[in-house]
Amino acid sequence: MILDKFPDPEEFYKKYWNKAPFIVRGGVAPEIFDGLLDPESLAGLAMEEDIKSRIVITAPEGKKWVCEHGPFDEDKFAELDGKQWSLLVQNVEQYYTDVSQLLKSFHFSPRWLMDDIMVSYSTAGGSVGPHIDSYHVFLVQGMGRRMWRVGNSPIQNAENIDGQDFKILKNSFDATEVEVSAGDVIYIPPNFAHEGTTTQDAMTFSVGFLGPKISEILSDYGRYVEEKDTLNQMYGGDNIDIRSGSFVIDSQAVSSIKSDLIEVINNDDFSTWLIQYFSTPTHDELDAIEPREDEISSENLIKELKNGGILSRAEHVKLSITKDKNGALKFAVYGEIIPTLTAHEKLIYWLNDYDQITLNDLENLGGVDALIELVTHLYNHNVLCKL
């Protein structure tokens, strides 16, 4: 379970993804955390109205754990002095975008499934108890030290302690114990029990990957279909006969309705909707690309690139790329479809694989003239930025 480096991508998906946890010593360079985010700044986020945060106070033996949801004020943090507690704040990469630099270490993962980076600060003895999650997570240790118990096998139909404010496992579980320090990374698949306890005041960065439920996919795509007259056709009862007379829905009618549903899903609009869906930020307040205030013209951007300028892909911005059944490329950013041409394909896959673009790169990917309009659009909408 304990590795000295990340598995290569093929091994990761074959051996670990959805299958087994692992721990990587020094998976992220400790210096990355220098000036990245401190406990005071995290507490400041927890005071904001629209930011999801919670404080968990560790229960004494046999007592009830306490979980309170933000926003909090300074008095609340003063009350915690001397207690064993944890502060957890979600979607931090969207507010402190430098935190998203951690994602470079996990580019082999399915980034389109990434939910958020949750950051926790905890005092010695702080914990949220033994639990399981329904999502994948990379636990990246920042400052301090934590002792983790990581389950050796998944738990189905887990029992939780009654009467708690959040889910805490009722029964013990077979686990590997390990203490982590700055830069260590733990990967935990869904349904693997785990419990972290702080041994030295610590910050943990949880990079979470969460797939939607089928009901959520159907519901959201249904809303998309509702706005498309060409897709949202009335069911007309075609191909039914006397066997579906009166109150009987015959198998032929059932098959006909299924066929209509399958036809809507097989439509090319489904892939268009899908990349919009998976590129939309999970936070309700972040559902669109914000235009840059200091927009630049294509001509001036070319000048800057010729003078040695380098553009960088913003790690916190969500992208999705796919192809329709005819092989045509589709590209979305923050829920917005970006119109593309065949000439743009190499550039878009470059953005998928790399995080920097130079003038020489543009020349090799199809030529400046063919690509500069798209590059300028992405820059002016904060998808690309100057390095």
* Pairwise CA distance, residues 60 & 54, whole Å: 19
Q: Which CATH architecture has domain 2-209?
A: Sandwich (2.60)
Report pTM: 0.92
8 A C-beta contact, residue 106 and residue 199: no
287 vs 113: which has the higher pLDDT: 113
CA 146, CA 124: separation in Å to the nearest integer?
Answer: 9
Q: How confident is the model at residue 290 (pLDDT cuts 50, 70, 90)?
A: confident
Q: Are 324 and 344 within 8 A, CB to CB?
A: no
d(CA 373, CA 5) in angstroms, rounded, equals 40
pLDDT at 164: 85
Who contacts 385 (Cβ-Cβ below 8 Å, separation ≥6)? 311, 312, 314, 379
Mean pLDDT of the chain: 93
Give the three-class secondary structure for 225. Answer: helix
CA pair distance 377, 333, nearest whole angstrom: 11
Straight-line distance from the first to the last Cα atom of the chain, in angstroms, rounded to the nearest whole number: 37
Instruction: Name the percent of the chain in helix, strand, coil, to the closest 5.
Output: 35, 25, 45
**pLDDT tens-digit readout, 343-357:** 999 999 999 999 999
Taking the domains of the chain in order of start, what are their residue ranges?
2-209, 232-266, 298-386
Q: Span 70-92, mean pLDDT?
A: 95
Instruction: Give the separation between CA 337 and CA 319, rounded to whole angstroms.
Output: 10
pLDDT of residue 288: 59
Query: What would the pLDDT profile of 50-77 be if each residue is shown by its tens digit?
Result: 899 999 998 776 678 899 999 999 999 9
- Cα–Cα distance, 147 to 137 (Å, whole number): 17
* Model confidence pLDDT, tens digit, residues 128-185: 999 999 999 999 999 999 999 999 999 998 999 988 888 999 999 999 999 999 999 9
- Secondary structure letter of residue 366 according to DSSP: T
Over range 41-48, report the average pLDDT.
Answer: 97
